[in-house]
Amino acid sequence: MSYPAHVPSSRLVCSLVFAAALLAALAPGRALSRELDVPYVPTPQVVVDKMLELAEIKPGDVLLDLGSGDGRIPITAAKTSGITASGVDLNPVRVKEAKENAQKEGVTDKVEFREEDLFETDLGEATVVTMFLLGSVNLKLKPRLLQLKPGTRILSYGWSMGDWEPDRTEMVEGKPIYMWIVRGENDRAAPAD
């Protein structure tokens, strides 16, 4: 029996289905919703530990890592201090990896990772904000960081925040960690660069 010319043969249909399945299997992950502002470079664990030490984390603190990569900062905070921590990253591959790491480390009840743009995410209840970004990205975030609750600690690895003087600067293996403590009205009056 022969089919009309416009009906694809079963062999062609099988080939198309196979090609589609192969492409799906080879695809590295979902596409990014937009270009990343910062490439992925993990913070060395010795620096993560120092950032958390500088933050003087206490019960009730809520940590947020902006651009959370494989989740090491929120996961370490939850493991060592038992606090609630979260991270946002625009890259779905990183978010998946962070969730898997949280599972491996047994802290899924304390940490949350979301695929979100750090410029749009709700900084909400955060009392400790960590960042390993870029100077230009820090400066763009500064006006929103200044609105955080007084007492909130902001820690940045490697990059400062223009003329906003840090409360602490600590060098680890030749690179700085900066920490600012939000003071409320005084900080809010500071220029946002």
What is the smallest separation between the CB atom of 91 and ligand SAM, expressed in angstroms? 4
Kindly tell me which of 18 and 119 has the beta carbon lying closer to ligand SAM.
Answer: 119
What is the smallest separation between the CB atom of 107 and ligand SAM, expressed in angstroms? 16
Q: By Cβ distance, which residue is nearest to ligand SAM?
A: 67
Kindly tell me which of 67 and 182 has the beta carbon lying closer to ligand SAM.
Answer: 67
Kindly tell me which of 65 and 112 has the beta carbon lying closer to ligand SAM.
Answer: 65
Contacts of residue 40, defined as CB under 8 A and 6 or more positions apart, other chains included, come to 69, 91, 94
Nearest-angstrom CA–CA distance, 29 and 96: 10
Kindly tell me which of 42 and 166 has the beta carbon lying closer to ligand SAM.
Answer: 42
Nearest-angstrom CA–CA distance, 133 and 4: 60
Contacts of residue 85, defined as CB under 8 A and 6 or more positions apart, other chains included, come to 62, 63, 64, 65, 73, 74, 75, 77, 78, 110, 111, 112
- Give residues in contact with ligand SAM (CB under 6 A): 36-38, 40-43, 65, 67-69, 72-73, 88-91, 94, 117-119, 132
